[in-house]
Amino acid sequence: MAALLYAGAGALLSHHTAAWWWQLIAVELPIICVSAPGRRRSVPGVLVHHPRFLDAARHRNLPVTTVPRTLLDYASTVSFDRVRRALAEADYRHILNLEAMQGVLGCGRAASAQLSLALEQDQSQLALTRSVLEERFLALCEGAGIPLPDVKATGEGLMVDALWREQQVVVELDGRAAHRTPAQMERDHGRDLRLRAAGYVVLRYTWAQITRQPQLVVADLRARLGLEGSGRPKS
């Protein structure tokens, strides 16, 4: 609020700050980004932008750039993967309007090409991931031409990290935080036993395997899914 008051009448939260305020990203940066008319200069802790047009909305009682404009501004300062994740989060929260998105693209605006490319790719599964490990695994599948699984899906009443329902293959991703104590390991083994008894193949991959041995993970997963080298199911 102090940053908005400093920037003057018509000021909006924008860029990273707007993305955080819309809950499209998880981490708030220490510098507050605002867009405003007038000639207010940036000061320590407040970065003031002066775009030609302001696309205004109001969210959680504060003025902020619209979701499409927020995504465009955010895309001008971050990597492609972060743009994809923010788009996925907008889709997951049901605030992604594709028609409105087209309205902010083009006309030589910065980051339009990156944002357009991200929009062309399917974000639905990425939106449901809740860890970097899960994101890495989906990216690995996508890069290897493996059909994306259902994530955070349910099998035998149990929520699993990834599920290929037709092939009855489950993948559980073992991050250290959730699988480090004897009790947690015992719980995992009990879940695996229950799933196998119901006919599922249960695979477990660690962070080290996915990041350091991706080819072995891909080969193992292809074999379990019955995929040929082309990435298509065997006939």
Q: pLDDT tens for residues 133-167?
A: 888 899 899 999 999 999 888 888 898 999 999 99
CA torsion sign for 116, 122, 124, 130 is negative
**How many residues make up the chain in this entry?**
235
- How far, in whole angstroms, is CA 127 from its chain's centroid? 5
pLDDT at 140: 93
Tokens 């062309």 map to which residue?
120
146: DSSP letter: P
The pLDDT of residue 232: 44
Residue type, 213: Q
Identify the CA nearest to 118 among candidates 147, 96, 93.
96
pLDDT of 176 reads: 52
The token pair at 31 is 């510098």
d(CA 160, CA 34): 41
Amino acid at 92: Y
Residue stretches of the chain with pLDDT short of 70 = 107-110, 122-130, 175-183, 228-235
Q: Which CATH superfamily is domain 130-225 in?
A: VSR Endonuclease (3.40.960.10)
* Res 148: pLDDT: 93
Domain with CATH 3.40.960.10 in the chain: 130-225
